[in-house]
Amino acid sequence: MKRTAGNTNFGSIFWHQIVRFIALSLLCGMLETLALAQTRNDLSGIRNSSGARRLSSQQLQQVRETLSRKSGFTELGFDEQGTMTLGNRQNVVGGSATARALLIAGVDNNNLFELENHSQSDEVAFAQLYECADWVIGETGKHMTVFRVQVDFDDFKHLSGANEAKATFDLGIALLHELTHGVLRLPDTQEIGQIGDCDAHVNQIRRELRLPERLYYQPNITIVQTNSKKRIVVAHLEFAERSGGQTTKYRLGWFPAHVSPNARNIALLEKGLAKAR
């Protein structure tokens, strides 16, 4: 069956920036150090937040299912403390080897990745990584960094386009994108039309999963003026599937006003104070 690309032209956003704030002092550091449990497990790897933003059991289950499918790790799960575990790492069915390597590096990491629920957030578009604190552990002098993986689960419901495009830009891919930033330290690009190091790596995962590849990192932003002179910002991304010498493109769109209305650039565009490219 021939697949066709979705033709929706919704718009959206500056999908996500790493918010880097290294707090060497109190607010984000010491108080939280006190709040965290002392075992090594709780101080490194990937885990559910222990704070008010922790994922519900249903959200944790969503994360477990999507990452298990994408990596092929059949025993991937979360223990009672909310720490991600991979179980028997030889127990693999399908999935992407690159995603498995990334998750192993995340789970075994000396740094801490805390999953946070930012559903209905006006700031977080889909997901972002917040580098929160740089700790020195006890007398060892060892440094570790705390990353918050902030996820707006609701944003994915605002996507419009072909199912193939939604499948290649879903919760699991968003989590792997953020882990690629934190674990491999690969950045996004500000260059229009470029994919950037981070999503180039995620595209390798997409290829292994036979999902369409993202063609560029920064979404295309357009502005539609309604009859009542209201300016609506819309954005889209494109993905391509190559098989048998043929390329099929898929388009995904969203309204930034629904996803992250407080993103400064979106507010300016809607007020007519900035120009879409």
Contact string (CB under 5 A) for Zn ion, positions 136-175, x = contact: ----------------------------------------
As a whole number of angstroms, the distance between CA 122 and CA 6 comes to: 27
Distance of CA 148 to the CA centre of its chain: 11
Does 213 participate in binding Zn ion (rule CB under 5 A)? no
> Residue 169 in contact with residue 252, Cβ under 8 Å?
yes
Nearest to 50 by CA among 19, 81, 84: 81
Residues 65-104 that bind Zn ion (CB under 5 A): none
Q: How far is the CB of 217 from Zn ion (least distance, A)?
A: 8
Q: How far is the CB of 214 from Zn ion (least distance, A)?
A: 11
Could you tell me the sign of the dihedral formed by the alpha carbons of 24, 27, 29, 31, in that order? positive
Nearer to Zn ion, 11 or 196 (CB): 196
Binding span for Zn ion by CB under 5 A among 35-43, 49-57, 183-191, 253-261: 183-191
Nearer to Zn ion, 116 or 188 (CB): 188
Q: What is the widest separation between alpha-carbon atoms in the chain? A: 66
> Residue 199 in contact with residue 217, Cβ under 8 Å?
yes
Binding span for Zn ion by CB under 5 A among 46-54, 60-68, 134-142, 184-192: 184-192
| DSSP SS3 for 102 | helix
Q: How far is the CB of 37 from Zn ion (least distance, A)?
A: 29
Nearer to Zn ion, 143 or 185 (CB): 185
> Residue 253 in contact with residue 235, Cβ under 8 Å?
yes
Q: How far is the CB of 123 from Zn ion (least distance, A)?
A: 15
**Strands, E assignment, 61-126:** 77-78, 84-85, 112-117
Does 131 participate in binding Zn ion (rule CB under 5 A)? no
Q: How far is the CB of 30 from Zn ion (least distance, A)?
A: 29
Nearer to Zn ion, 5 or 165 (CB): 165
Q: How far is the CB of 44 from Zn ion (least distance, A)?
A: 22
Does 114 participate in binding Zn ion (rule CB under 5 A)? no
The residues, ordered by sequence, that sit 6+ positions from 112 with a Cβ below 8 Å of its Cβ are 43, 44, 45, 47, 144, 145, 146, 147
Contact string (CB under 5 A) for Zn ion, positions 39-58, x = contact: --------------------
The one-character DSSP state at 159 is -
Residue from 116, 155, 188, 241 touching Zn ion (CB under 5 A): that is: 188
Residue nearest to Zn ion (CB): 188
The one-character DSSP state at 11 is -
Q: How far is the CB of 127 from Zn ion (least distance, A)?
A: 8
Residue 146 buriedness (CB in 10 A; 0-12 / 13-18 / 19+): buried
Site size toward Zn ion (CB under 5 A) is 1
Q: Which helix (H) or strand (E) holds 181?
A: helix 171-184
The one-character DSSP state at 212 is P
- List interacting residues with Zn ion (CB under 5 A): 188
